[in-house]
Amino acid sequence: MRRAYRVEAIRAAEADLMERLPGGALMQRAAAGLATVAAQILREAGGVYGSRVTLLVGVGDNGGDALYAGSFLARRGAHVDAVLVDPDRAHSRGLAALLAAGGRVVGSEVLAAADLVIDGLLGIGGKGGLRGAAAELAAAAAAASAPILAVDLPSGIDADSGEVAGPTIRADVTVTFGAFKPGLLIDPAAERAGVVEFVDIGLDALPPDPAVEALQAEDVAALLPVADRETDKYRRGVVGIACGSERYPGAGVLAFGAAVHAGTGAVRYSGPPAVRSEILHRWPEALLEGPMPDSSGRVQAWVCGSGFPADGDDENDRTWQVIESGLPAVLDAGALAYLGDGGDTRSPQLSERIVLTPHAGEAARLLGTERAEVEAHRLHSVRRLAADFGVTVLLKGTTTLIAEPGGATVRANPTGTPALATAGSGDVLAGLIGGLLAAGLRPLDAASVGAYLHGTAGRLAQRTGPVAAGDLLAALPLAWHNLTQ
């Protein structure tokens, strides 16, 4: 699992380690790791010897990391030039090391001929984007043709939140030291980091609870439900699907199809006759109920709301039946219309076993703010929703975030892809999470595993062309199979 920590926690861990190391040793470790990655990039482009490397050097420790790394590359035969934002405040020992190795201090005109640009303008304490000379250098680097390697994180992004509030570096590769930062996992900042390479510098005093975490393949595989020899279909879990409507029947079909592939023993459908008929046609194993959800049918979890019109009285009643059942449930799309301001007059007391799955617009309505605010402050928004409603919240987007009730633990899904931006994709995700809930996963894990599988299915499906929601259903078995082999 990737664990990302706030700046204050990383600085405290660095201070603890530096007390036990000789002076400058920690920066040397970081610079050596940075130079190793830089050399690999240069080798792939033709070799280190004779290559041209330009360092963009700010006034903090990131600038020192870049200068020391530049000195290592210069000793291996690279032509290394440093462009200093403020020559009087550059890291003095790093600059001396670079000059002793044959490096030069030059102007930004060298960017046009560079084979690699190393961004050491601003470190993890930067706020509000780049300004002045640093912003001008970032623009010049973007206009050049060389790949950009960021030191610890792209200069200008907010390390703690992933927010972007001004000009930034857009890196092709980022080398991060000691611990991941939330900004490397959460868009819009994460999109600017490119490929993230981790360098272990020995931080051993980090707190037990990270600010943000991201499941990796082995974590997801360990959480997938597994049927043993003694199980039967009811022990594997039964999920109820209360999705789809006369107006939007396809949502019920898609949610049902995803639940079929979620590791449960059976899937029940409750809803309009037309949707029931279509589901039975596609999945003869379907268990069909009446139009209203009924928890007496040995259901362990519900999926509700996908394909509900915002003005449907029957759909309103279906939502309340699910909420009042007290069972674990996914509330998606139309079901979210009955929560928060403007919802039903019966104020719901939501169980901690519920998962809400809003996109940014739905989240904005629930929070009483604007969509742009949610998009700009995704981490804050998902935490606030989880705290306000006391449930697990999955906030869809370029980076899907999942927060446990209260918002203390937040997970960022690493498998997102633009291929998922297609009608019905969210219906598939809701059905998948609901099936995992019924199979016994706790809400945070069900939402996290569901998002991971959903993204993986999208990546598999796009190999053969543009993706429709039905393609995700077809790709889910392979996504599951790949994790368990």
Which contiguous run of DSSP H or E holds residue 267?
strand 266-269
Average pLDDT on 50-68 reads 96
| Structural contact between residues 69 and 38, judged by C-beta atoms closer than 8 angstroms | yes
Per DSSP, which regions of 7-126 are E strands? 52-57, 79-84, 104-105, 116-120
444 vs 94, 160, 195, 367, CA distance in Å? Answer: 45, 22, 27, 21
User: Tell me: the pLDDT tens digits for 155-167?
Assistant: 999 999 999 999 9
* CB atoms closer than 10 angstroms to residue 138: 25
- The torsion of the CA quartet 465, 171, 185, 67, rounded to 10 degrees, works out to 150
Does residue 347 surpass a pLDDT of 80? no
Question: What confidence score (pLDDT) does residue 294 get?
Answer: 77
**Across 74-78, 208-212, 340-344, 462-466, least confident range:** 340-344
Q: Is the pLDDT reported for residue 233 higher than 90? A: no
Quote the Cα angle for 432-333-397, to 5°: 75
CB neighbours of 446 closer than 8 A, spacing ≥ 6? Answer: 328, 355, 433, 434, 436, 437
- Mean pLDDT check: name the lowest of 104-118, 286-300, 390-404: 286-300
d(CA 57, CA 80): 12
Q: What is the pLDDT of residues 85-103, one digit of tens each?
A: 999 999 999 999 999 999 9
Q: How far is 329 from 241, CA to CA, in rounded Å?
A: 10
Say yes or no to pLDDT of 485 above 90: no
For range 22-46, the mean pLDDT: 97
CA 114, 118, 120, 126 torsion-angle sign? positive
What backbone phi and psi angles, to 5 degrees, belong to 5?
-125, 150
Query: Residue 404: what pLDDT?
Result: 97
Chain-centroid distance of CA 287 in Å reads: 35
Q: Round the average pLDDT of the chain to a whole number and report it.
A: 94
Cβ-Cβ contacts under 8 Å for 111 (sequence gap 6 or more): 54, 83, 117, 140, 141, 143, 144, 146
| Dihedral sign from CA coordinates of 123, 127, 129, 132 | negative
CB 48 within 8 A of CB 78: yes
The pairing of beta strand 116-120 with beta strand 148-151: parallel
Q: Provide mean pLDDT across the span 51-60.
A: 96
Greater pLDDT, 57 or 127: 57
CB 363 within 8 A of CB 374: yes
The Cβ of residue 101 has, within 10 Å, a number of other Cβ atoms equal to 18
Residue 380: what pLDDT?
97
Amino acid identity, residue 75? R
pLDDT digits (tens, 9 = 90+) for 416-432: 999 999 999 999 999 99
> pLDDT, tens digit, for every residue of 307-344?
999 777 788 889 999 999 999 999 999 999 888 654 44
Q: Tell me which residue has tokens 């039975």.
A: 280
- CA dihedral (177, 178, 181, 186) positive or negative: positive
Any bridge partners for residue 288, and if so which?
269
User: What is the reported pLDDT for 295?
Assistant: 65
Report pLDDT for 228: 78
* Run of H or E including 195: strand 195-199
- pLDDT score, position 373: 95
Using omega within 30 degrees of 0 as the cis cutoff, is the peptide bond preceding 210 cis? no
Cα→Cα distances 49→103, 117, 158, 286, 464, Å: 14, 16, 35, 65, 41
Task: Please report where in the chains the tokens 């789809």 appear, as a residue.
Answer: 244
pLDDT for residue 312: 73
- Tell the residue number behind the tokens 């009608």, with chain if given: 423
pLDDT at residue 346 tops 60: no
Predicted pLDDT of residue 171: 98
Q: Tens digit of pLDDT for each residue in 167-182?
A: 999 999 999 999 999 9
Contacting residues for 269 by C-beta, under 8 A, at least 6 apart:
240, 241, 252, 256, 275, 276, 279, 286, 287, 288, 289
Query: Averaged over 234-240, what is the pLDDT?
Result: 90
Q: pLDDT exceeding 70 applies to what percent of the chain?
A: 98
pLDDT of residue 291: 80
Token pair, residue 432, equals: 């998948």
pLDDT (mean) for 212-220: 98
Q: What pLDDT is attached to residue 344?
A: 47
Token readout for 462 is 């796009």
What distance lies between CA 408 and its chain's CA centroid?
16
pLDDT for 226 equals 87
Distance CA 120, CA 65 (A): 7
pLDDT at 313: 78
Compute the average pLDDT of residues 138-151: 97
**Is the predicted pLDDT of residue 46 greater than 60, yes or no?**
yes
- Residue count of the chain: 485
Per the structure block, which two tokens stand in for 60?
């903090």
- Residues 459, 193, 27, 206, Cα dihedral to 10°: -60
Query: What pLDDT was estimated at residue 342?
Result: 44
Residue 193 has pLDDT above 90, yes or no: yes
Q: Percentage of the chain with pLDDT > 90? A: 89
